Amino acid sequence: MYFQGPKPCLSHTKYNVTRCHLPLKASTSYFHTATVFKSTPSLITVTEEPDTLFQKVSILVKCHDRAVLDSYELFATMAANELGITISKVYEPPKAIDRLTLLKSIHIFKKHRVQYEMRTHYRCIELSHLTGCTAQAYLEYVQRNLPEGVAMEVTKVQSTALLTYSK
């Protein structure tokens, strides 16, 4: 369904405007939404208080699949470069393996066991010297695009002014 707006025209105007009103779709269930994330229009507010400064923002992502982490690291570093955020280092902490040993059979056969393992791969992206607004915007963007099966931990180191007690 589409509507035709008024065409750009000269002074003598005789144009046809056809409008189709879309039927208002009453959502019967609250949970069945057409769009995934309802984006409320973000209002840019200018305040007098100074912005928080972060000396370091460290993002640790973990996943079972190393290839997913590779592509996510590429995405996050590209986003940071586009926004002009300094990336101090990107490194890969060693993977962690959790192993379980269970009995293979449901009854007896104690000598026959099955071993399972769960591998967690890590990737750490450290950003340095950014403002609170930048950090908030970057983290929100990067978190909205987290792939499934990937968990993220964010550590922020804030820098504050030195407290002076002498008056």
Partner 1 sequence: MAASLRNAGITGLLSALARTGSFCSSTGYRSLHVTAVCCKNRAARIRVGKGDNPLVYEQAIHPHHIGHRKGWLSQNTSNLRGEDGAAQRTVEDMFIRKFMFGTFHGCLANEIVIKRRGNLLVVCALVLQRFSPLRFYFLIGYSESLLSHFYKCPVKLEIQTLQQKAVYKYL
The answer to whether 151 contacts partner 1 (rule: CB under 8 A) is: yes
* Cα of 35 vs its chain's centroid, Å: 17
Nearer Cβ to partner 1, position 53 or 68?
A: 68
Answer whether 128's CB lies under 8 Å from 88's CB: yes
Nearer Cβ to partner 1, position 5 or 149?
A: 149
> Residue 66 and residue 74: Cα distance in Å, rounded?
13
Answer whether 99's CB lies under 8 Å from 115's CB: yes
* Cα of 95 vs its chain's centroid, Å: 22
The answer to whether 124 contacts partner 1 (rule: CB under 8 A) is: no
The distance of closest approach from Cβ of residue 117 to partner 1 in the complex, given in angstroms and rounded to an integer, is 10
- The residues binding partner 1 (CB under 8 A) are 28-29, 31-33, 36, 62-65, 96, 98, 104-105, 109, 111-112, 114, 118-120, 146-151
